[in-house]
Amino acid sequence: MRQTGTMSDKRQLVFDAFDNKKTERVPLGFWFHFAPDNLFANKPEIIRKNVEGHFQFYDTFKPDFVKLMSDGYFRYPNPSLQKVEKADDLLQAKSGLVDDWIDAQTALVKELTDHFGSEAASFYNIFAPATVLGFVLEESKSGLMLAELIQKHPETLAYALNVIKQDLARLAFKVITEGGADGIYLSTKNIQDKAVSKELYHKYITPSEQGVLNAANAVSDYNILHICGYEGARNDLSVYKDYEVKVVNWAVVVERVSLKEGKNLFGGRAVIGGFDNTTNGVLYKGSKEEVERETRRLLEEAGTTGVILGADCTIPSDTPLERLEWVRKAAERYGK
C-alpha cells in the first residue's frame, strides 16, 4: 500500500480524516481544470499546461491534498472503438491497445507527485467505464446512447464496458504503483434516463466500475468515489452506497443531499464537499463574511469528523485562491 513509512503532518491530517479519526482541523479539497478548453486534446502543449497548472496551484495555495487532473487524456484512443456506427460494432472492442495512453498518464502522475514529494496526498482522476464509453459514442456521432444500449443491447454494452474496465483497471494500478498517487478519484454518474432502473445499472454497469475500484483497492486503502452532477445531472446516490471506497464526493447542491445525510447513506464513510461549484455559488461570488458563514454552517450541520470541505465538482478556473483560504481559515477557527 502507498500509505507506509513517515508521513508529513498534512498527509497524516488527510488520511486521518479519510479514516474518520478526529483531526485538529477539517481539511480542504478543491480542484480546477488547468486546460478547461482542451480536455480531450492529447497534445504536448495541453499536457504541459495541465502540469504547470498543478505546479502553480500547489506552490501558491499548498492544498491539503491534490486531485490530479487528467486534462488532455479524456479521449480513450482505443482503435477497436474508432468506428462505432451501430451497437454490434461494440463487439469488436479489444483491451490492451492503449498502452501508450496508460503509460503517458502514469508519467504525468509521476511528474506531479515528484513535485509534491512527501508533503501532500494525491489522487488521480479516472472516469468510470460507462462515462468513457459515453465519450466514445459522442465522438462517433452515431447517435447511440447509453440509455438505448442498456435497454435494447444490454449484453453488448456489458461486453464493451468490460473491455474498457480492463484498460482502466491497469491505469488505476499503474498510477498508484508506478506514478506515486495515493489512490484514484473515480468519476461516475447515473445514466440520465428515468427508464434505466437501479437494477439495470447494477447488472450491466456496476461490475465495470467495481472492477476499476478493485484494482485500485488492491494497492491503496484510500480511493475516492465522485458521483458527478455535471450541468445539473441528478443521481440516485443509493446506487453507489455499497461501493468499496474510502471517501465519497457528490453534488450536495444539485442533489439536495447534505453532507450529513450522505454520510449516513454511505454507512459513515468520510465525505468531501458542501460548496456549490458554479459561478452562482457563494464560494465564487459571496463576500468573505458569506463564505465564512457558509463554512461554519456546513461544519455545524455535518460535524468535523470524517468531513473534508470541498465543492460539488471542479470549481471555476478563475476562482481566486484567497477564497479557498477564507474557507481554510474559517474551518481552522471553527475547530478551536
pLDDT of the residue at 7: 62
pLDDT of the residue at 5: 40
| Residue ranges of domains in the chain, CATH in brackets | 36-275 (3.20.20.210)
Answer whether residue 147 shows pLDDT above 50. Answer: yes
pLDDT above 70: percentage of residues in the chain: 98
**pLDDT range class, residue 39, cuts 50, 70, 90:** confident
Average pLDDT over residues 308-336: 94
What is the value of pTM for the model shown? 0.95
Answer whether residue 6 shows pLDDT above 70. Answer: no
**pLDDT range class, residue 194, cuts 50, 70, 90:** confident
- Looking at every residue in the chain, the average pLDDT score rounds to 94
pLDDT of the residue at 335: 72
For residue range 90-145, list pLDDT tens digits in order.
999 999 999 999 999 999 999 999 999 889 999 999 999 999 999 999 999 989 99
For residue range 200-235, list pLDDT tens digits in order.
999 999 999 999 999 999 999 999 999 998 777 889
Secondary structure, 3-state, the chain: CCCCCCCCHHHHHHHHHHCCCCCCCCCEECCCCCCCCCCCCCCHHHHHHHHHHHHHHHHHHCCCEEEECCCCCCCCCCHHHCCCCCHHHHHHCCCCCCHHHHHHHHHHHHHHHHHHCCCCEEEEEEECHHHHHHHHHHHHCCCCCHHHHHHHCHHHHHHHHHHHHHHHHHHHHHHHHCCCCCEEEEEECCCCCCCCCHHHHHHHCHHHHHHHHHHHHCCCCCCEEEECCHHHCCCCHHHHCCCCCCEEEECHHHHCCCHHHHHHHCCCCEEEEEECCCCCCHHHHCCHHHHHHHHHHHHHHHCCCCEEEEECCCCCCCCCHHHHHHHHHHHHHHCC
Average pLDDT over residues 298-302: 97
**pLDDT range class, residue 40, cuts 50, 70, 90:** confident
pLDDT of the residue at 1: 59
pLDDT above 90: percentage of residues in the chain: 89
Answer whether residue 325 shows pLDDT above 80. Answer: yes
pLDDT of the residue at 336: 63
